[in-house]
């Protein structure tokens, strides 16, 4: 009897998940797309861009792009770009420092943090580009406590604690790490797998007003929620296959650039929006066929920004930065 009861409960949960997934797909799109908001200098194009975020001023946008291509090898272009609210490029730096730009985050002091996926490092810089801290060893991949293997994401908590999502699928790592504000190792958690607290590409990190960590566990088609000691709290699958993740005013924004009938049945590419309080998806900005949207950020006015890593087949020709405004 107990087994029958548990089977019935599991069936109800499964049906509820299907309803929730369907609702996520049917959510309205209250945004209009601004395609040409960002102004690049003549002769300079935006490369594949996974990392995009908002400055502490609430309006300027930072992008960490791949030097006009798929990486920065052999390029003298500056991959760290800052745009003001009008879309004008007002700062650029980081030339010849990175191999394959990935994640970007701005802390409460305005410092810019980036992850170099194939350089295997996390770097802290001033808003003018001066390097303040480097974690990991350049060009050295590993699973020790002082090295990374394809770090994807970095997030700095209000108290200065540093959280790093280390790994990008395949044979790379699949873990989270926590450091003090001065870069001293505290702890690590997670391994490759599908269970609670396991990872398959910890691709993005955000934090809500309660201090909970939201990790985009892309390869497992879910967002995992933890406390700051790494205790597993919950998982959400209704936001699709998460690559980019951003929280503002306890609204969760997820960029899904990989869902399809084979990779994540029932979902399509785009940006899903919902509250961290109940996990309900209330809006959906579908991807256009010209690019795959990997990063997402939201300014203080509620405008949404997306960074595209390329066309439907990964071609750099689809790379772009886009702005979405409420109708």
- Residues of the chain above pLDDT 90, percent: 84
Mean pLDDT, residues 89-97 = 97
Whether 1 shows a pLDDT value over 90: the answer reads no
Which residues lie below 8 Å from residue 181, measured CB to CB, with a gap of 6+? 156, 159, 160, 161, 162
- Alpha-carbon gap, residue 103 to 122, rounded angstroms: 9
**Ranges of each domain in the chain:** 31-326
Whether 14 shows a pLDDT value over 50: the answer reads no
**Least confidently predicted of 107-116, 144-153, 170-179, 312-321:** 312-321
Q: Are the beta carbons of 94 and 79 closer than 8 angstroms?
A: yes
**Least confidently predicted of 126-140, 221-235, 261-275, 290-304:** 290-304
- pLDDT, residue 60, reads 98
- Residues of the chain above pLDDT 70, percent: 89
Beta partners for residue 320, in sequence order: 308
- pLDDT, residue 317, reads 56
Which residues lie below 8 Å from residue 114, measured CB to CB, with a gap of 6+? 51, 64, 80, 94, 98, 101, 102, 103, 104, 105, 122, 123, 125, 154
- Alpha-carbon gap, residue 7 to 21, rounded angstroms: 21
- Alpha-carbon gap, residue 262 to 34, rounded angstroms: 30
- Alpha-carbon gap, residue 193 to 307, rounded angstroms: 28
Query: Which CATH class, in words, describes the domain spanning 31-326?
Result: mainly beta
Say whether pTM exceeds 0.75.
yes
Neighbours of 127 (CB within 10 A): 18
């Amino acid at each position: 009897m107990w087994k029958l009861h548990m089977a019935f409960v599991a069936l109800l949960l499964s049906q509820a998940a299907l309803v929730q997934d369907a609702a996520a797909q049917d959510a309205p799109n209250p945004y209009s797309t601004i395609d040409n908001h960002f102004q690049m200098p003549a002769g300079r194009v935006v490369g594949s861009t996974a990392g995009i975020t908002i400055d502490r001023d609430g309006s300027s946008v930072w992008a960490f792009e791949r030097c006009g291509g798929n990486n920065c090898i052999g390029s003298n272009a500056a991959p760290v770009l800052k745009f003001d609210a009008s879309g004008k490029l007002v700062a650029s730096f980081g030339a010849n420092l990175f191999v394959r730009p990935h994640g970007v985050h701005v802390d409460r002091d305005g410092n810019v943090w980036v992850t170099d996926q194939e350089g295997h490092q996390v770097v802290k810089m001033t808003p003018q580009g001066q390097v303040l801290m480097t974690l990991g060893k350049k060009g050295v991949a590993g699973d020790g406590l002082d090295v990374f293997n394809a770090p994807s994401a970095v997030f700095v908590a209000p108290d200065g604690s540093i959280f790093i999502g280390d790994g990008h699928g395949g044979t790379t790592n699949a873990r989270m790490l926590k450091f003090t504000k001065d870069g001293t190792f505290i702890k690590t958690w997670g391994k490759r797998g599908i269970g609670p607290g396991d990872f398959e590409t910890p691709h993005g990190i955000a934090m809500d007003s309660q201090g909970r960590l939201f990790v985009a566990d892309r390869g497992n088609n879910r967002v995992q929620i933890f406390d700051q000691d790494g205790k597993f709290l919950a998982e959400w699958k209704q936001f699709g296959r998460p690559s980019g993740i951003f929280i503002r005013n306890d609204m969760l924004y997820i960029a899904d650039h990989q869902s399809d009938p084979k990779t994540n049945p029932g979902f399509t590419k785009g940006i899903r929006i919902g509250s961290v309080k109940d996990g309900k998806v209330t809006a959906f900005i579908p991807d256009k066929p010209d690019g795959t949207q990997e990063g997402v950020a939201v300014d203080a006015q509620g405008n949404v920004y997306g960074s595209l890593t390329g066309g439907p087949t990964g071609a750099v020709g689809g790379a772009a930065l886009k702005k979405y405004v409420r109708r």
